[in-house]
């Protein structure tokens, strides 16, 4: 796909982020799951880093070799006609231009980029993360594709407070992130505050026991994604069916 076509898909994906009318973004882990999910007319497809990593034989956590991750994204993008956004964790050690070039070669037009420090523990310094986010956006624009950047805020995964999530979210929005993803934010009050104070569209994670889509919409959320949840539930369903057959089938 050429730069003009990728640019058009990026604009299409960005336009789907409407506060109060959230994009329900399903996460695929391989070509069959992407093809099946796209057949239900979702307007975009995301990849799940955990699902792709596990399908490739790796653990989640920024350890998958980047060439393997990007090749998996390419196989997913090749079987669907809608825009694809890829969870690329913390970038696998690639420089922003390398990361964006690999993303676009794979046929994807959006990416998640997280602020967990996988090498040193804890979280990346917020100001350093701002530099990385801005460089990712600039790298895309230099090649003619304004990639859709979903800046993940991992504060709640590290037992942090909503004040810090808001602070980081504002910084990332100022760095021109298209969407801010405070993963792990579950409380209505926290999500509502993030929506009001960050200054960019907010992505929420759909999780069992969490707020339903209608309530997230009422709060002004612009994007709801499933992460690795769909893959894990598919695996559980397969195991349950196999177990049930074993207990009732012929001896």
pLDDT tens-place string over residues 208-240:
889 999 999 999 999 999 998 888 899 899 899
Residue 161 is assigned to a structural domain of this protein: yes
Residue 88 is assigned to a structural domain of this protein: yes
Mean pLDDT of 163-179: 98
pTM: 0.94
- Say if residue 248's pLDDT is above 60: no
Range of the domain at 27: 3-239
- Say if residue 69's pLDDT is above 60: yes
Residue 127 is assigned to a structural domain of this protein: yes
Mean pLDDT of 71-81: 98
Q: What is the CATH number of the domain that holds 80?
A: 3.20.20.60
For residue 244, the model assigns a pLDDT of 84
Residue 247 is assigned to a structural domain of this protein: no
For residue 251, the model assigns a pLDDT of 47
Could you please report the per-residue DSSP string of the chain?
--HHHHHHHHHHHHHT--TTS-EEEEEESSHHHHHHHHTTT-S-EEE-HHHHHHHHT--TTT-S-HHHHHHHHHHHHTT-SS-EEEE-TT-TT--HHHHHHHHHHTT--EEEEE-B-TTTSSB--HHHHHHHHHHHHHHHHHTT---EEEEE--GGGGT--HHHHHHHHHHHHHTT-SEEE-TT--SHHHHHHHHHHSSS-BEEE--TTS--HHHHHHHT--EEE-TTHHHHHHHHHHHHHHHHHHHHS--
Residue 177 is assigned to a structural domain of this protein: yes
**pLDDT tens, position by position, 134-170:** 999 999 999 999 999 999 999 999 999 999 999 999 9
Residue 136 is assigned to a structural domain of this protein: yes
For residue 245, the model assigns a pLDDT of 80
Residue 250 is assigned to a structural domain of this protein: no
- Say if residue 250's pLDDT is above 60: no
Residue 249 is assigned to a structural domain of this protein: no
Number of domains in the chain: 1
Mean pLDDT, the chain, as a whole number? Answer: 95
**pLDDT tens, position by position, 181-216:** 999 999 999 999 999 999 999 999 999 889 999 999
**pLDDT tens, position by position, 119-138:** 988 999 999 999 999 999 99
For residue 247, the model assigns a pLDDT of 59
């Amino acid at each position: 796909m050429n730069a003009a076509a990728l640019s058009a898909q990026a604009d299409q994906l960005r336009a789907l982020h409407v506060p109060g009318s959230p994009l329900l973004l399903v996460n695929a882990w391989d070509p069959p799951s992407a093809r099946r999910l796209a057949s239900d007319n979702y307007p975009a497809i995301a990849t799940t880093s955990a699902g792709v990593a596990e399908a490739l034989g790796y653990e989640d956590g920024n350890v998958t070799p980047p060439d393997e991750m990007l090749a998996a994204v390419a196989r997913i993008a090749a079987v669907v006609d809608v825009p694809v956004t890829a969870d690329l964790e913390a970038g696998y050690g690639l420089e922003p231009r390398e990361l964006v070039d690999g993303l676009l070669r794979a046929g994807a037009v959006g990416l998640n980029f997280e602020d967990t420090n996988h090498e040193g523990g804890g979280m990346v310094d917020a100001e350093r993360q701002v530099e990385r986010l801005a460089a990712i956006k600039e790298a895309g624009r230099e090649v003619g594709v304004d990639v859709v950047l979903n800046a993940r805020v991992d504060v709640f995964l590290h037992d942090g407070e909503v004040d810090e999530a808001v602070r980081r979210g504002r910084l990332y929005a100022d760095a021109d992130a298209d969407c801010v993803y405070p993963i792990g934010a579950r409380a209505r009050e926290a999500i509502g505050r993030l929506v009001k104070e960050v200054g960019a569209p907010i992505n929420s994670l759909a999780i069992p026991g969490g707020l339903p889509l209608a309530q997230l919409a009422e709060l002004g959320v612009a994007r709801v994604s499933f992460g690795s949840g769909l893959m894990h539930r598919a695996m559980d369903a397969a195991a349950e069916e196999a177990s049930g057959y074993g207990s009732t089938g012929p001896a």
